[in-house]
Structure 1
């Protein structure tokens, strides 16, 4: 904070600060009464404090916001009792809130430019999230082999092991790089990606090779390429190069004819290598700022703070994977594609929720009105996301040759998973990632242990995350930036 509210406690032997006393009501003056100066009243330190933080208190919609400010500045209850004569920070905050008139600044004007720029950007991200799935279509004949383990097709275990490792590592790495970007240090963010991307690719490759059984070598090699692509895509997405990544994925469009015709193996391998090479080269080019010496001068945020984000990536990835289990292969893949494509609109709706909440914070004058407005915005944004998800699921069904029409139970299960994912992303955006990660991991573990309980586990996760969201995000203090 620019100006500290903390007043140092008096040194030993110094006089205690004067505790404000109530002012006496003045007796009616008579004509013969003489004017006597009032030297008995001490100045009220609460007036001075109210003047110092007038702007913040005037914009607050609840005394708890003021109490949070006082506590964050280091004011203890003992100091408050000695200096201001109030029991604790909450009592002091209530007095300050009552003294200062509400003055909320007018909402900022929307930025100039096309209204749907943000939506187009998020849709682009959703597209680059989904297009890598075409790589599996191209590689499917190359990976076909003997029956795999656990009732899965051959090569599935090393592919999943490498993918999960990449999700955890790259989610944590993304958080660390985004933290540097939030501090305004783009070279440091590039350096974090430079030092973290390659170890992540090596970790995914190592895990895939370690779990590969005899006869699954092609799948392990593909998993190595998958790990390298995930590292490169993380770099490009974090540094805002979605269009470059989309260009790198263009060769995968060669998978579209593979839905109907058999392509030569050399062509399949050539398209996969062309896309992977383009992504890696583009990532290397944008990481050049990370080589500057100035980027290495600071220690940066603690690495442990990024771990919950990696765990959330694991939990949400498992939920998406389980959404495709239990149906026909084509129907299950369609659900996964719909969830992946929906991540673009999901991001846009998260931004909309944040923007609407900040607007309500500036315009509403009571905590009750703010809670009602935020709850209504939450319901509208979540309902909008689920509508988009169902529309995408139906569109994928129509576009995919031979895809079965989704039944009502399958749609319901998809909606529950979508609810859990969107609410988890919302909590993650507001810093409550540990709770979201715990709920998603527990639900994924329950689905893994007992696949028949999939809808129940997804429903429980959605309900738990809804409760967490309502408890945390209806508070005005959660939206202060």
Structure 2
């Protein structure tokens, strides 16, 4: 070991090389000289100690160590991808497809209600009750998913289903009284709302398979075609099963930890559900209020859109997973922006292709009718717009999708009331504008790395 003479009578017990070798791991990965200085001070070195190495203070010694070391930070491997599940692809994809079926199949329940749907006011009550219940379901799901502990989420769902049902009963009663329908229709609207909220609780807690099983009695009688009284019995059994399932899946919850900040956090999701409900049922509500008749294929297209929500979830998870991987793999922000935008457009096209296939099958089953092409185009654009809005929502961009959806729905309503054109044409132009604006915005903002944190 060499001994370095600093001034007469002062020697260095350890030379500079030995100090650098002792701190080589810190020096190889240090971001700057301040990190090295912090490491020296953590070792107990002071300015007095630094002077033994020929430097006036710790910071000067840290700067000399930092300048003479080649940075070779240790590679720790990519961070775990929270959007990429470890389960097999067939199981992950099957779960998303099953969720799509669960979104679409309950529509068969309206077959059981066909004898009750004698006039326009009945359909309008059920549709408005459905639109009013959607934001409750969306807000409840968002609130439960924000809970860090599963037990707290179950408690939120339990209280949310009860509170939501209690809120929907007077709403349904008021709609029935305002539009002059009987108590049977009000009861059916309340049952519809209770089912939607209970099914939300089952889906959020991962009860997809069980929910499909309890749907089987109602679906079976709907497809078998017995007298409508037996169909009602089958769906009553299904409704009871859904309630039991929701109760079972939300047992054992702890304190909710509910607060005004958490409710404000869920509010944009509830508002999004309300706007989506209005956009999807625009032609139906217009028809019930005397503005023309929707094309016969509208109901079939709604079923296809509901079924497409399962694949939409799958593609959305893939987008978030690939965005996370690109953050690890790309070497510059420009490279990341290019790759993530190409990925976004690729996945939008993939979803539109799946939706087009589902629309083709649904419309073919519905048979040839006037306005078929217009219904298909409108449904494709609406589905694409809502899918892009969900992409933006998953990346924390809520304000613009809400503003765009609200603006389009307001404009459609104003045009219909003031000019009275065919509602299907108004909806088509609104869907085209919404899809164009949201896609352009998504390409711009989702290319930023900060959107994928």
Question: Normalising TM by the smaller chain, what interval?
Answer: 0.7 to 0.9
Write out per-residue CA displacement over residues 237-290 of structure 1, whole angstroms, 9 at most, x where no aligned residue: 1111111111111122221244xxxx4232122012111100001111111122
Aligned positions of 1:35-184 closer than 5 A: 47-49=33-35, 105-106=77-78, 113-145=87-119, 153-180=120-147, 183=148
Whole-angstrom CA distance in 2 between matches of 1:427 and 1:257? 42
Q: Secondary structure at the match of 1:302?
A: helix
Whole-angstrom CA distance in 2 between matches of 1:278 and 1:423? 35
Whole-angstrom CA distance in 2 between matches of 1:383 and 1:283? 36
* Alignment-derived partner of residue 281 in structure 1: 244
**CA gap 1:51/1:440 in 2 versus in 1, 3 angstroms:** farther
* Alignment-derived partner of residue 376 in structure 1: 342
Query: Normalization by structure 2: what TM-score?
Result: 0.76
Q: Does 1:439 align with 2:439?
A: no
* Alignment-derived partner of residue 448 in structure 2: 475
Q: Does 1:206 align with 2:170?
A: yes
Whole-angstrom CA distance in 2 between matches of 1:50 and 1:219? 74
Q: Does 1:321 align with 2:284?
A: no
Query: Normalization by structure 1: what TM-score?
Result: 0.72
How far did 1:406 drift?
A: 6.6
How far did 1:306 drift?
A: 0.5
How far did 1:156 drift?
A: 1.9
- What value does the CA root-mean-square deviation take over the aligned residues? 2.9
How far did 1:133 drift?
A: 0.2
Whole-angstrom CA distance in 1 between matches of 2:31 and 2:391? 41
Write out per-residue CA displacement over residues 454-476 of structure 1, whole angstroms, 9 at most, x where no aligned residue: 22211221122113212321111
Contact 2:104–2:303 (Cα < 8 Å) also in 1: yes
Q: Secondary structure at the match of 2:164?
A: helix
Q: Does 1:188 align with 2:152?
A: yes
Contact 1:334–1:396 (Cα < 8 Å) also in 2: yes
Contact 1:446–1:453 (Cα < 8 Å) also in 2: no
Write out per-residue CA displacement over residues 162-221 of structure 1, whole angstroms, 9 at most, x where no aligned residue: 1122111111111010000xx2x0111111111111111122222111021323432211
* Alignment-derived partner of residue 430 in structure 1: 395
Extract unaligned runs of 5+ from structure 1. Answer: 1-33, 38-43, 53-83, 85-98, 146-152
Whole-angstrom CA distance in 2 between matches of 1:368 and 1:302? 36
How far did 1:51 drift?
A: 9.4
Q: Does 1:265 align with 2:228?
A: yes
Write out per-residue CA displacement over residues 368-409 of structure 1, whole angstroms, 9 at most, x where no aligned residue: 111111011101110011011110011112333x45387443
**CA gap 1:104/1:385 in 2 versus in 1, 3 angstroms:** farther
* Alignment-derived partner of residue 332 in structure 1: 298
Contact 1:201–1:230 (Cα < 8 Å) also in 2: no
Write out per-residue CA displacement over residues 4-24 of structure 1, whole angstroms, 9 at most, x where no aligned residue: xxxxxxxxxxxxxxxxxxxxx
How far did 1:230 drift?
A: 1.1
Whole-angstrom CA distance in 2 between matches of 1:256 and 1:405? 26
Contact 2:217–2:238 (Cα < 8 Å) also in 1: yes
**CA gap 1:111/1:163 in 2 versus in 1, 3 angstroms:** closer
* Alignment-derived partner of residue 24 in structure 2: none
Q: Secondary structure at the match of 1:474?
A: coil
* Alignment-derived partner of residue 322 in structure 2: 356
Extract unaligned runs of 5+ from structure 2. Answer: 11-29, 39-58, 60-70, 417-422
* Alignment-derived partner of residue 28 in structure 1: none
Contact 1:423–1:469 (Cα < 8 Å) also in 2: yes
Q: Secondary structure at the match of 2:206?
A: coil
Whole-angstrom CA distance in 1 between matches of 2:387 and 2:448? 19
Q: Secondary structure at the match of 1:289?
A: coil
* Alignment-derived partner of residue 88 in structure 1: none
Whole-angstrom CA distance in 1 between matches of 2:241 and 2:218? 11
Whole-angstrom CA distance in 1 between matches of 2:390 and 2:121? 33
**CA gap 1:475/1:243 in 2 versus in 1, 3 angstroms:** same
Whole-angstrom CA distance in 2 between matches of 1:394 and 1:435? 31
* Alignment-derived partner of residue 410 in structure 1: 375
* Alignment-derived partner of residue 219 in structure 1: 185
Write out per-residue CA displacement over residues 426-480 of structure 1, whole angstroms, 9 at most, x where no aligned residue: 1111121232222112222222332342222112211221132123211112112
* Alignment-derived partner of residue 365 in structure 2: 399
